[in-house]
């Protein structure tokens, strides 16, 4: 465990350990503030975390009835019923399995073709909820957070992103072939993320080791989007041994 004033790094042995620790932090947030606003992420990394939360809900230890959520992103052009949409992912992976009220969940509308309208609408939703109490983040192999790709301006709020070739390639594993991966997405911006009261970043596997090292110990630069988190005053990183391997090799943890 590394701790300075603002960043805590918790090591887990493996993916399951990371998932349990992350779920513990989210669970504590819900217990301490039952109507907490949670910023949520999709992708492979949070699946185990969500499974653990569902398990505690089923045991009667967690109540989502007042929880409000706002997701980071959605592919532009995908219907919420499309199996690859993030709306569908959230519904099947978490929302349908706990007692959260659908009206309290928010995801950008991938079907909205008026980009300006959708970005303004989503920003208004986030602001109307007040600050996000706890923002859960995964990290891309290129250190993106949400779909804030390298060299995107730090001061952006919700915007429409052209996905980088690296992200299209990484996410192709969820689609039948790479050509099916949407080229654009709606994403909350770095500014929205940085306005969250607390941030919980989770990472697992060797493919994230470089991104994690550069984000925590490298220079703060838009070419490494997650490096901005060094400027946030309450960040917890929960990562497994593989994701922390470069940091550990360098003796930084």
175: its two tokens: 């689609």
Q: How far is the CB of 60 from ligand F6R (least distance, A)?
A: 29
Active-site position among 144, 148, 192, 240 = 144
Active site residue 61: no
Q: 142, 171, 192, 214: which one is catalytic? A: 142
End-to-end CA distance of the chain: 7
Q: What is the DSSP string of 11-47?
A: EESSHHHHHHHHHHHHHHHHHH-TTPEEEE--SSTTH
Residue 131 designated active-site: no
Is residue 149 part of the annotated active site? The answer reads yes
Of 144 and 159, nearer to ligand F6R (C-beta) is: 144
Smallest gap from Cβ 47 to ligand F6R, in A, equals 8
**What backbone torsions phi and psi does residue 74 show, to the nearest 5 degrees?**
-155, 145
- Report the residue number, 66 or 150, with the smaller CB distance to ligand F6R: 150
Check if 71 is active-site: no
Which parts of this chain interact with ligand F6R (CB under 6 A)?
41-45, 72-73, 138-140, 144-147
Among candidate residues 112, 149, 157, 242, the one labeled active-site is 149
The residue whose Cβ lies closest to ligand F6R is: 138
Q: Which CA distances in Å does 213 have to 3, 39, 81, 98, 228?
A: 15, 24, 37, 35, 13
């Amino acid at each position: 465990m590394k701790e300075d004033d603002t960043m805590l790094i918790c090591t887990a042995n493996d993916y399951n350990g990371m998932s349990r620790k992350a779920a513990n932090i989210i669970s504590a947030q819900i217990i301490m503030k039952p109507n907490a606003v949670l910023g949520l992420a999709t992708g492979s990394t949070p699946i185990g975390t969500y499974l653990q939360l569902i398990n505690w809900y089923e045991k009667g230890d967690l109540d989502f009835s007042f929880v409000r959520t706002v997701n980071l992103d959605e592919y532009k052009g995908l219907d919420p019923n499309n199996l690859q949409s993030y709306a569908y992912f959230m519904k099947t992976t978490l929302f349908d399995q706990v007692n959260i009220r659908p009206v309290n969940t928010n995801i950008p509308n991938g079907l909205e073709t008026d980009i300006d309208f959708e970005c303004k609408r989503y920003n208004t939703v986030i602001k109307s909820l007040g600050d996000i109490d706890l923002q859960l983040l995964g990290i891309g192999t290129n250190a993106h957070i949400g779909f804030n790709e390298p060299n995107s301006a730090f001061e952006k709020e919700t915007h429409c992103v052209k996905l980088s070739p690296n992200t299209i390639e990484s996410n192709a594993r969820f689609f039948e072939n790479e050509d099916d991966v949407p080229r654009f997405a709606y994403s909350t911006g770095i500014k929205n993320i940085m306005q969250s009261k607390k941030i919980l970043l989770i990472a697992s596997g060797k493919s994230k080791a470089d991104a994690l090292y550069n984000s925590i110990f490298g220079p703060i630069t838009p070419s490494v989007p997650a490096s901005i988190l060094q400027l946030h005053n309450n960040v917890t990183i929960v990562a497994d041994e593989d994701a922390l391997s470069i940091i550990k090799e360098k003796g930084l943890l």
